[in-house]
Structure 1
Amino acid sequence: MNEHTKSSKFLFMAKSKVLVVGGTGYIGKRLAAASLAAGHPTYILLRREIGLDMDKLQILFELKRRGAHLIEGSFSDHQSLVDAVKQVDVVISAMSGVHFRSHNLMMQLKLVDAIKEAGNVKRFLPSEFGSDPARMLHSLEPGRVTFDEKMTVRKAIEEAQIPYTYISANCFAGYFVGNLSQMETLLPPKDKLFIYGDGNAKVVFMDEDDVAKYTIKTIDDPRAANKTVYLRPPENILSQRELVGIWERLTGKPLEKITISEEDFLARLEGAPYAVQVGIGHFYHIFYEGCLTNFEVGDDEEASKLYPEVDYIRMDDYLKRYL
């Protein structure tokens, strides 16, 4: 083997260096683990703002034990962010928080500024991992702010000409599957449950570890560059009634089903706390409008077609952990 061949082989096998921002969060820790499992040199931003949060610190130490590198940086210190970004090829933002809101928006925009100044990042994945915000501009207030702010970040990324991939991961199973999509619990109902409308709108349910696996697959893939990648594995596209049917077959126990009309469901908005109003709006678009599946992917990409080798978790297997 000549030197040129050796060099070419090395370049082909080289793995991108990945920085995960928000590596202690619900999806962030999974992204960091998936990056390590895929053989990427993986870096996690260690923020001084962690304060006295021992749980987050232990997550960081466990990821470090598994091979991750911790890089100190702060959103109150622009140069520290630039210095952190300069050490990697890919930046994935997974800053936690059920709702994006203004504080997280500000941090995301600061991260975009740091990536722009560093000038070396070949791919940026902003903190999205839910519904595609570009398709949710009609959504109900007050939940619409979630999507509006994500679109603000997208605009900043594209104006800065930063190469990107947007991940639309749809519904995390931990929040939508174990509870059979009930809003007030994370556990399966024992006797009865609410069915939204006719219960037949198709929804995409995703195991969170699979979200991370698919996401890491995209970072070196030219097919995913400057596109939205939708996570829509075909066997996980189910209606609420189909999901409930799986649970009933697993338990051998039928549940009483109480249907809620669109009008009655939206009536719950009045007087509800802010966070509940946001949740009601999101559930409405998912289970009444079918917003996750009522469109074609078009010029973007679907992950299970790009990466058929990923053996994703089906929801019947996911539900077995609740037995």
Structure 2
Amino acid sequence: MGKSKVLVVGGTGYMGRRIVNASLAQGHPTYVLQRPEIGLDIDKLQMLLAFKKQGAHLVEGSFSDFQSLVDAVKLVDVVICTMSGVHFRSHNILLQLKLVEAIKQAGNIKRFFPSEFGLDPARMGHALEPGRVTFDEKMVVRKAIQDAKIPFTYVCGAGFAGYFAGNLSQMGTLIPPREKVLIYGDGNSKVTIVDEDDLATYTIKTIDDPRTLNKTLYFRPPENVLTQKQLVEMWENLIGKKLEHIIISQQDFLASMKGMDYAGQVGVGHFYHIFYEGALTNFEIGKEGEEASKLYPEVKYIRMNEYLKIYA
């Protein structure tokens, strides 16, 4: 049994490029969908060519040409989709329905990973408007996968370090504050924060693992399940300075949505669920799920006190 062949859809994106690199690093024959929609985006083209140089195969295909998707899928055993689902970049979750249809028609795929990685949409039926659209659309895709009887792994349950650690979870910035920091509620909700390259490494490890087939992979590496206060303290220790803590009540945080654009309102809703409800960690992982760091203890994941050093 050789290693499964992998097709990455969205391979030049934020998670996609990491998935491609992890797949190559772990020795999988790796195919990346090259979409003509790339147009004159030279950065994306050069990234694709760099993947090719590392040994990846570029496969032409487009969501507007269904047969090209089917042909691309037929080349591989596993499909991983990493199309963006965040509103401040581009939001393409439902485009995956065409990919599900192509996988169904091709009939050869051993496993499909739809674009997820964040909060588990199956647990977000109560989510606030307008941000709940993200979870509702992901559930539409999941239903299509299951109706088509396509084997799957859902990967979710982590905050990206680039968006949650580097900025001490402050909205509207990607760098850590040096004077004052907004603390959500009591700042004690447990949040899982994982380096994006580690997320990709764990994801690729599941591909040929029967333990993760038709299950949800969650991330709770013990040292990276932190409260916002712990994260802030790590930063304060690093820079040798105490920041001014400004407590934001639940009501004030939700009130901040007023007057925001759509993408901002979506972001506030998601932050609310993560930091006021603890939605990344406030449940037991049941038999329908597995936890990545328990399955793969050999992965030396980056701790957030190490991660923050690059910002100091």
TM-score by length of 1: 0.94
Alignment deviations for residues 216-258 of structure 1 (CA, whole Å, 9 cap, x no partner): 0111110000000001111000000000000111111110000
Gaps of 5+ in 1: 1-10
| Corresponding residue of 1:296 | 284
SS of corresponding position for 1:70: strand
SS of corresponding position for 2:197: helix
| Corresponding residue of 1:204 | 192
Counterpart of 1:317 (choices 302, 306, 312) is 306
How far does residue 272 in structure 1 lie from its aligned partner after superposition? Answer: 1.4
Residues 275, 159 of structure 1: CA spacing in aligned structure 2 closer, same or farther, 3 A cutoff? same
Bigger mean CA deviation after superposition, 168-177 or 147-156:
168-177
Alignment deviations for residues 252-277 of structure 1 (CA, whole Å, 9 cap, x no partner): 11100000111111111122111111
Rounded Cα–Cα distance in structure 2 between residues aligned with 1:88 and 1:18 = 6
How far does residue 99 in structure 1 lie from its aligned partner after superposition? Answer: 3.5
Say whether 1:108 aligns with 2:76: no
Rounded Cα–Cα distance in structure 2 between residues aligned with 1:99 and 1:295 = 26
SS of corresponding position for 1:30: helix
Counterpart of 1:236 (choices 224, 238, 244) is 224
Rounded Cα–Cα distance in structure 1 between residues aligned with 2:90 and 2:299 = 36
Rounded Cα–Cα distance in structure 2 between residues aligned with 1:229 and 1:201 = 21
Q: Is the 8 A contact 1:101 1:146 kept in 2?
A: no
Say whether 1:80 aligns with 2:68: yes
Q: Which has the larger radius of gyration?
A: 1
Counterpart of 2:144 (choices 142, 152, 156) is 156
Identity fraction in percent:
71
Residues 219, 98 of structure 1: CA spacing in aligned structure 2 closer, same or farther, 3 A cutoff? same
Q: Is the 8 A contact 2:61 2:68 kept in 1?
A: yes
How far does residue 106 in structure 1 lie from its aligned partner after superposition? Answer: 3.7
How far does residue 105 in structure 1 lie from its aligned partner after superposition? Answer: 3.4
Rounded Cα–Cα distance in structure 2 between residues aligned with 1:316 and 1:230 = 22
Rounded Cα–Cα distance in structure 2 between residues aligned with 1:33 and 1:143 = 30
Say whether 1:261 aligns with 2:249: yes
Rounded Cα–Cα distance in structure 1 between residues aligned with 2:26 and 2:132 = 35
How far does residue 100 in structure 1 lie from its aligned partner after superposition? Answer: 10
Number of matched pairs: 311
Counterpart of 1:67 (choices 51, 55, 63) is 55
Residues 193, 102 of structure 1: CA spacing in aligned structure 2 closer, same or farther, 3 A cutoff? closer
| Corresponding residue of 1:7 | none
How far does residue 80 in structure 1 lie from its aligned partner after superposition? Answer: 0.5
How far does residue 102 in structure 1 lie from its aligned partner after superposition? Answer: 10
Give me the CA root mean square deviation: 1.3
Alignment deviations for residues 133-176 of structure 1 (CA, whole Å, 9 cap, x no partner): 00111010000000000000000000000000000141000011
How far does residue 36 in structure 1 lie from its aligned partner after superposition? Answer: 0.1
Q: Is the 8 A contact 2:163 2:174 kept in 1?
A: yes
Residues 308, 208 of structure 1: CA spacing in aligned structure 2 closer, same or farther, 3 A cutoff? same
Gaps of 5+ in 2: none
